């Protein structure tokens, strides 16, 4: 599924307006995206729009790692 970069940038503006700099990126299809390209692309956009953001990807969380280990 293609990303809507304009929508991501718009959401980033909302976060900036609210002073939010802690961002968790959770892609609904991230379990299907084994290489993590969508979440990585979203992170790249968020870094451009909110340079001081602290960003966490769901694929990097311990829960996701455990899920993948059990699933394998």
Indicate the pLDDT class of residue 32, thresholds 50, 70 and 90. Answer: low
Q: Take residue 71 and report the two structure tokens written for it.
A: 């699933």
Indicate the pLDDT class of residue 67, thresholds 50, 70 and 90. Answer: very low
Average pLDDT for residues 35-59, to the nearest whole number? 91
State the pLDDT at residue 63.
56
Q: How many CB atoms lie within 10 A of CB 57?
A: 19
State the pLDDT at residue 1.
63
Average pLDDT for residues 17-45, to the nearest whole number? 85
Domain ranges of the chain: 5-71
């Amino acid at each position: 599924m293609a990303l809507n970069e304009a929508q991501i940038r718009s959401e980033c503006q909302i976060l900036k307006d609210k002073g939010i700099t802690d961002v968790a990126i959770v892609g609904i299809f991230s379990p299907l995206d084994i290489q993590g390209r969508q979440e990585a692309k979203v992170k790249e956009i968020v870094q451009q729009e909110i340079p001081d953001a602290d960003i966490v990807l769901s694929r990097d969380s311990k829960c996701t790692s455990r899920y993948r280990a059990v699933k394998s």
